[in-house]
Amino acid sequence: MIKQILGRLPRKPGKAGDSREAAAAGNGTEPSNSYSVVRGMDPGNKRAGNGDYPVPSGLTSNPVMNGAVVYHSSEPLPAFKDVPASEKQNLFVKKVNLCCAVYDFADPTKNLKEKEVKRQTLMELVDYITSANGKFSEVVMLEITKMVSINLFRSSSPTPRENKAIEGVDLEEDEPLMDPAWSHLQIVYEVFLRFVASQETDAKLAKRYIDHSFILRLLDLFDSEDPRERDYLKTILHRIYGKFMVHRPFIRKAINNIFYRFIFETEKHNGVAELLEILGSIINGFALPLKEEHKLFLVRALIPLHKPKCVSMYHQQLSYCITQFVEKDCKLADTVIRGLLKYWPVTNSSKEVMFLGELEEVLEATQLAEFQRCMVPLFRQIARSMNSSHFQVAERALFLWNNDHIENLIKQNYKVLLPIIYPALERNSRDHWNQAVRSLTLNVRKIFSDHDSAFFGECDQRFSDEELKQEESDSKREALWMRLEEMAASKPRENSPLGAPNGKPSQAAG
Pairing of strands 34-38, 60-63: unpaired
Residue 24 has pLDDT above 90, yes or no: no
- pLDDT tens per residue, range 266-284: 889 999 999 999 999 999 9
CB atoms within 10 A of CB 74: 9
User: Which residues lie below 8 Å from residue 112, measured CB to CB, with a gap of 6+?
Assistant: none
- List, in sequence order, the alpha helices (H) in 347-413: 349-364, 368-386, 391-398, 404-412
User: For residue 100, what are the contacts with CB-CB under 8 A and spacing of at least 6?
Assistant: 35, 36, 37, 146, 147, 150, 151
Q: How far apart are CA 275 and CA 2, in angstroms?
A: 68
List of residues 6+ apart from 56 with CB closer than 8 A: 71, 93, 94, 97
Q: Alpha carbon of 75 to those of 31, 36, 389, 493: distances in Å?
A: 12, 17, 76, 109
The pLDDT score that the predictor gives to residue 13 is: 42
70 or 392: which leads in pLDDT: 392
- Determine the Cα–Cα distance for residues 217 and 373; give it in Å rounded to an integer: 44
Can you give the pLDDT at residue 381?
Answer: 96
Query: Which among 232, 266, 229, 237 has a CA at the least distance from the CA of 254?
Result: 237
Write out the H or E segment, with its range, that includes residue 428: helix 414-431
- Binning pLDDT at 50, 70 and 90, where does residue 323 land? very high
Phi and psi angles of residue 35, each rounded to the nearest 5 degrees, phi first: -150, 155
Max distance between CA atoms of the chain, in angstroms, equals 126
Range in 107-116, 250-259, 289-298, 400-409 the model is least confident about: 107-116
Which of 36-50, 94-108, 470-484 reaches the highest mean pLDDT?
470-484
**Residue range 437-477, pLDDT digits in tens:** 999 999 999 999 999 999 999 999 999 888 888 888 989 99
Residue spans per domain, the chain = 369-483
Q: Of 172-181, 302-311, 377-386, 422-431, which gets the smallest average pLDDT? A: 172-181
Q: How far apart are CA 335 and CA 295, in angstroms?
A: 10
pLDDT of residue 109: 75
Percent of the chain with pLDDT over 90: 59
pLDDT band at residue 490 under the 50/70/90 scheme: confident
* Total Cβ atoms within 10 A of residue 256: 17
Helices marked H in 199-226: 203-206, 212-220
Distance CA 264, CA 149 (A): 30
35: three-class secondary structure by DSSP: strand
Q: Three-state secondary structure along 312-358?
A: HHCHHHHHHHHHHHHHHCHHHHHHHHHHHHHCCCCCCHHHHHHHHHH
∠459-464-468 over CA atoms, to 5°?
145
Whether the bond into 289 is cis, omega within 30 of 0: yes
Does the pLDDT of residue 53 top 50, yes or no? Answer: no
Mean pLDDT of the chain: 81
Look up residue 201 and give its DSSP letter: S
pLDDT digit string (tens) for 152-203? 997 644 444 444 444 444 444 556 677 778 888 999 999 999 999 999 999 9
Contact between 101 and 36 under an 8 Å Cβ cutoff? The reply is: yes
- pTM of structure: 0.75
| 3-state SS class at 19 | helix
Residue 176: predicted pLDDT? 67
Lowest mean pLDDT among 2-16, 299-313, 368-382: 2-16
Q: CB–CB of 162/223 below 8 Å? A: no
Instruction: Give the C-alpha separation, 112 to 122, whole Å.
Output: 15
Tell me how crowded residue 43 is: count the other CB atoms within 10 A of its CB: 9
**Rounded to whole angstroms, what are the CA distances from 337 to 217, 310, 358?**
35, 21, 10
Neighbours of 477 (CB within 10 A): 10
Q: Using alpha carbons only, how large is the chain's radius of gyration in Å? A: 35
